Amino acid sequence: MYSRHYIRRRFRSVRVLKCGMPQLDYRPVVIYLNHASWWDPLVCLLLAREFLADRHSFAPIDAKMLPRYRFLRHLGFFPVESNTHRGALTFLRTSHAIIASSGNALWLTPQARFVDVRERPLHLQDGLGILAASRPDVAFVPLAIEYSFWTEPQPEVLVSFGRKLIPATSAAKSGAEWTEIFSKRLEETQDMLAKHSVRRQGADWTTLARGKEGIHPGYDAWRWLRAAIRAEKFSRRHQA
């Protein structure tokens, strides 16, 4: 898979928090995430193949950006005009059609811009809450993503799913109220992810993909030769 290969070339690993595995059922699902970096769509493609392989995944993308990344159209991305009334209507109409089927999943970045993972409070766009108010039978699942350097030269991709919320199981609320609730849920998920990121304990995580180890091919070759001369075990890792 292209996204897995591309990510493995540039990151140390992709890790999912064990206490943050997705809890899904037969319902249509909306997965909404913080927008940490340009890498988010490719990470989500990998997660979709891992955890939602039996569903068709879709996601909106700025209509101005899609011509730059035409391959994304074939991966379930649909164009939406940003900051226009027509774009908002297109988003809602297309999203409703997608989540009408339990065989589909909709992935959203409702911050609509790149945002530092430490920014609080979160501000999500109203479209997420409007979907919840109009489709209360759908499961809404927060997803936290961050990119952190641990002990190796390459960064780690760290992710955690949060507690799902099915609006139909709660009292009816307005779109604005649902958006506020979803913001809090995503904050909780990000805070939990950050807590475990700081711990840097491998046992906390399930590794979905692992990239190349080592510091530099030339330097690693010299380290390997030195270890061979000394009859020592060689590891490419900075911290064995």
Residue bearing tokens 């390459």: 154
CA distances 53 to 45, 77, 186, Å, are 10, 16, 24
Residue 165 falls within a domain, yes or no?
Answer: yes
> Across the chain, how many H-helices and E-strands are there?
6, 8
Q: Which domain holds residue 206?
A: 2-212
pLDDT along the chain (240 residues), means of 10: 74 96 94 96 94 95 78 79 89 95 96 94 95 96 97 93 95 94 98 97 94 57 59 58
CA distance 140 to 90: 20
Q: Is residue 199 part of a domain?
A: yes
Whether the CB-CB separation of 46 and 4 falls below 8 Å is answered with yes
> Is 240 part of any domain?
no
Number of domains the chain contains: 1
Question: 237, 213 in Cβ contact below 8 A?
Answer: yes
Q: What is the pLDDT of residue 153?
A: 85
Identify the pLDDT of residue 151.
Answer: 86
Question: Residue 14: which H helix or E strand, with range?
Answer: strand 13-17
- Tell me if 230 is assigned to some domain: no
Positive or negative, the Cα torsion across 141, 172, 86, 82?
negative
Q: Identify the CATH number of the domain in which residue 25 sits.
A: 3.40.1130
Q: Specify if 232 maps to a domain.
A: no
Identify the pLDDT of residue 139: 97
